[in-house]
Structure 1
Amino acid sequence: MGEWGEALLFGLVVIAFVLGLSSIIMGFIHQPQKDQSALAGKIEFGFFGVAGLVVSAVLTYGLSSI
């Protein structure tokens, strides 16, 4: 019962990784509406995907240093 910090950090790693990976996938399969720019949507999804993967990597490093 004393490992709550590691369990919470692991949960955050999984959430950040899944959101990052799903954003990258959505960048490839996203079909914008007629009034939206296709390139802007791909850039947004790509940015959020890479940011999610970076956050996941930083949290993984934090988890390994505990």
Structure 2
Amino acid sequence: MSNWLEPILFGFTLITFVLGISSIIMSFLPTPEGENVMQSKVEYGFFGASAFALFAVFVYALATV
């Protein structure tokens, strides 16, 4: 019970991976007619890419701990 860092890092890693995948998937889904379609796709793509960047940082942190 003394090592709390690895499970916490694993939880953050899992959350960022799921956030990245779901944001990328949502950028490919069709949007309603009344909204700015390109803006929504770019925003979801940006959130997905930034989540994957954080995912890479957390994987590196897990590898070095």
Question: Would the TM-score normalized by the shorter structure come out above 0.5?
Answer: yes
Q: CA deviation at 1:3?
A: 2.0
Q: How many positions carry a matched residue from both structures?
A: 65
Q: Distance in 1 between matches of 2:6 and 2:30?
A: 35
The TM-score, its normalising length taken from structure 2, stands at: 0.93
TM-score between the two structures when normalised by the length of structure 1: 0.91
Runs of 4+ in 1 over 3 A off after TM superposition: none
Report percent identity of matched pairs.
43
The residue number in structure 1 matching 2:22 is 22
Q: 1:30 offset after TM fit, Å?
A: 4.0
Could you tell me how far 1:61 is from its partner in structure 2? 0.1
Q: CA RMSD in A?
A: 1.0
Q: Give the Cα–Cα distance (whole angstroms) in 2 for the partners of residues 30 and 10 of structure 1.
A: 32
Paired residue for 1:40? Answer: 39
Q: CA deviation at 1:32?
A: 3.3
Give the equivalent residue in structure 2 for 1:2.
2
Q: Displacement of 1:2 after TM fit?
A: 1.8
